[in-house]
Amino acid sequence: MTKLILRALKGEILPTPPIWMMRQAGRYLPEYRATRAQAGDFLKLCYNPELAAEVTLQPIRRYGFDAAILFADILLLPQALGADLWFETGEGPRLSTITDMAGVRALRPIGDIHDTLAPIYQTVRLLADALPRETTLIGFAGAPWTVATYMIAGRGTKDQGPAHALKSTDRATFSALIDVITDATIEYLSAQVLAGAEVVKLFDSWAGSLKGADFTDFAVKPTVRIIAALKARHPGLPIIAFPREAGAGYIGFAAATGADCVAVDNSVSPEWAAQNVQNTGCVQGNLSPIHMVSGGQGLVDATRRVVDAFRTGPHIFNLGHGITPDANPDNVQLMIDTVRNA
């Protein structure tokens, strides 16, 4: 029997949607915090295959999710390309910045990224061996625009101002950077697939700040290139795209990019997404992560609403964005029970 997530990704409508959760291995789980402390810090955890596999498996053991997502980060790829990367406690990621063409030219050759990323592929191999037979293994990378916003600004930004500024003042440098990230992402994801990832997901967390032609040029086009290259190398590989907060940009995104599934965030209603996105294929989403903090009848009602809205098409149940560190692990169980008994 084929795994439920793979069946949904092929377009099958299942009586109960399969479930996984963005950031399902994370700080809301005491066992994650313990393993992270054992590793020393977050980056050491990412690059330690045994411990990264362990934290990937923790939410599978605790909840029996239908998919496991490789434990890593979208910023490991810039690091493999030569950027300095570190995490400021309580603040988030910091990177060396790219501000001109010399910065793009100084990046390492794409063929060299595997030197840095080899431990990540080893984590994938360990997981492919260790996962229960019904659990799908998802690999991932950041989409080029989102990765570029961090490489240009050197940190997370509210409005992606520095990346938008470079895009308008020095288009050649900006486009060259997008191209390098696109090529590197193809190699990175392809290596994850060769190591055992069964599905890959592209996280375009800041797609929502690209408007009009910019959305086409920098959210759609790089995704088209990545998906075409991956499908040429790995025929039949299912791919999930997450152009977060794309709004109307979600409409037609699967057809335009070749994605098998579009993940939607919770800024759009499940009814709207069912009508405008699920009409062309599988949708993943989109319960607000706030319910993992607040719980109770509000969680139950909102979970049922998502399940009901997507009932007539292919659906993978997920949150609209990652679960937050202040979430209560019991609420995750309540969500799962509600989906499976709805």
Which residues belong to the active site? Answer: 23, 27, 36, 73, 150
Query: Considering the rule CB under 6 A, would residue 156 count as an interface residue with ligand CP3?
Result: yes
3-state secondary structure of 82: coil
Query: Considering the rule CB under 6 A, would residue 315 count as an interface residue with ligand CP3?
Result: no
Pairing mode, strands 261-263 and 239-243: parallel
Residue closer to ligand CP3 by CB (options 27, 108) is: 27
Residue closer to ligand CP3 by CB (options 313, 317) is: 317
Pairing mode, strands 92-95 and 85-88: antiparallel
Q: Judged by CB under 6 A, which of 140, 188, 215, 317 binds ligand CP3?
A: 140
Q: Judged by CB under 6 A, which of 18, 49, 78, 93 binds ligand CP3?
A: 93
Cα–Cα dist 75/79, whole Å: 7
- Take residue 325 and report the two structure tokens written for it: 């560190």
Task: Work out how close the CB of 225 gets to ligand CP3 at its nearest, in angstroms, rounded to a whole number.
Answer: 20
Instruction: Please work out the total of residues on this chain that contact ligand CP3, with binding judged by CB under 6 A.
Output: 22
Query: Considering the rule CB under 6 A, would residue 154 count as an interface residue with ligand CP3?
Result: no
Q: Judged by CB under 6 A, which of 54, 66, 73, 198 binds ligand CP3?
A: 73
Site mask for ligand CP3 (CB under 6 A), range 95-134, x = bound: ----------------------------------------
Q: How close are the terminal C-alpha atoms of the chain, in Å? A: 23
Residue closer to ligand CP3 by CB (options 39, 237) is: 39
Task: Work out how close the CB of 145 gets to ligand CP3 at its nearest, in angstroms, rounded to a whole number.
Answer: 11
Cα–Cα dist 90/149, whole Å: 20
The residue with its CB nearest to ligand CP3 is: 205
As a whole number of Å, the CA-based R_g of the chain is 19
Smallest Cα–Cα separation from 265: which of 216, 218, 205, 316? 205
Q: Judged by CB under 6 A, which of 205, 223, 266, 288 binds ligand CP3?
A: 205
Smallest Cα–Cα separation from 306: which of 21, 24, 62? 21
Q: Is the peptide bond before 276 cis (omega within 30 degrees of 0)?
A: no
Q: Judged by CB under 6 A, which of 65, 203, 250, 317 binds ligand CP3?
A: 203
Q: Is the peptide bond before 286 cis (omega within 30 degrees of 0)?
A: yes
Cα–Cα dist 174/163, whole Å: 8
Query: Considering the rule CB under 6 A, would residue 66 count as an interface residue with ligand CP3?
Result: no
Cα–Cα dist 295/291, whole Å: 5
Q: Judged by CB under 6 A, which of 4, 5, 19, 26 binds ligand CP3?
A: 26
Q: At what angle do helices 161-169 and 171-195 cross, to 10 degrees?
A: 120
Interface contacts to ligand CP3, rule CB under 6 A: 22-27, 36, 42, 69, 71-75, 92-93, 140, 142, 156, 203, 205, 322
